[in-house]
Structure 1
């Protein structure tokens, strides 16, 4: 595997959309709107990082990162997601490579931290933890996790960009 992780290019947009649809098609937790979220973030200029995994010219993975708001006023926090890997390539380490590149990219941006909604058994390997006091209203607390680059932890409700409510 000659996997390359790089920033998305305009020509990648149709492939990112198709990949995202395929990656979430059978996911039990999916709303079926993940591709609309990515497109909405892009249109709103809120994709702080949009990285693709490419293998032999084929797009096999994508991760989106966007700013989040925290009610305490803490700044420089980002939300990770959606993250997509081609169904035939899941379990081959592509998601892990994307996660590493995403966290490195956020460090370069000077981020204070990152939040995500996902399986704690998977994301804990990257240092994400459930942090009491940092809340995404309306979701089970054990699935909302955070990673701090500085060791400082804000307290408050987290809100994502309105693109996360996109339905088309």
Structure 2
């Protein structure tokens, strides 16, 4: 296990997070390679509810963003997990999992109702995420959109991420 230090993003981390995110998704499937722009747009819109970095030997090797989402039913205090970035040379070593676990714990402390994620269902089910019938993200195969509830109830409706997710530069 890596000896990671987790902390909240600081002002002078912006460039390192941008570069890390770009590198993390360079060879990823199912991406438009805009994740670094999305994180910046979330930051600029002041919608980074959680922005955690993982450091190893004082170098940022991982980052996770969490931002508010809207649900057509009007459910409040729901958030979206991601993008999650880990430097390619540290992927599959528990960095992303550690970031997800800490982000979910922070959301609970913020009295969040729950969190949604778009991603690999086999990976995110490890954290308690599951497909919720009636909770949808348009134009996405249902098995890749999952949610976790902190109070045991799940809203119904269509989820909308921040406009920042449309960022391309």
Q: Which residue of 1 aligns with 2:46?
A: 45
Secondary structure (helix, strand or coil) at the match of 2:125 reads helix
Q: Which residue of 2 aligns with 1:31?
A: 32
Match status 1:138 vs 2:135 = no
Deviations 1:96-124 (CA, angstroms, capped at 9, x unpaired): 10011000010111100000100001000
Q: Which residue of 2 aligns with 1:104?
A: 105
Match status 1:94 vs 2:95 = yes
CA distance, structure 2, for counterparts of residue 121 and residue 2 of structure 1: 26
CA distance, structure 2, for counterparts of residue 2 and residue 131 of structure 1: 35
Secondary structure (helix, strand or coil) at the match of 2:103 reads helix
Q: Which residue of 2 aligns with 1:57?
A: 58
Deviations 1:43-80 (CA, angstroms, capped at 9, x unpaired): 00000000000011010100000000000000000000
CA distance, structure 1, for counterparts of residue 64 and residue 90 of structure 2: 15
Secondary structure (helix, strand or coil) at the match of 2:84 reads strand
Q: Which residue of 2 aligns with 1:126?
A: 127
- In the TM superposition, residue 30 of structure 1 has moved relative to its aligned partner by 1.2
- In the TM superposition, residue 28 of structure 1 has moved relative to its aligned partner by 1.2
CA distance, structure 1, for counterparts of residue 45 and residue 88 of structure 2: 28
Q: Which residue of 1 aligns with 2:20?
A: 19
Secondary structure (helix, strand or coil) at the match of 1:59 reads strand
CA distance, structure 1, for counterparts of residue 3 and residue 128 of structure 2: 26
Q: Which residue of 1 aligns with 2:163?
A: 162
- In the TM superposition, residue 2 of structure 1 has moved relative to its aligned partner by 2.1
| Aligned length in residues | 168
Note the residue ranges of structure 1 that are not aligned, 5 or more in a row.
none
Secondary structure (helix, strand or coil) at the match of 2:51 reads strand
Note the residue ranges of structure 2 that are not aligned, 5 or more in a row.
none
Q: What TM-score does the superposition give when structure 1 sets the normalisation length?
A: 0.99
CA distance, structure 2, for counterparts of residue 91 and residue 20 of structure 1: 16
CA distance, structure 2, for counterparts of residue 87 and residue 31 of structure 1: 17
Superposition misfits of 4+ residues, deviation over 2 angstroms: none
CA distance, structure 2, for counterparts of residue 29 and residue 6 of structure 1: 28
Q: Which residue of 2 aligns with 1:2?
A: 3
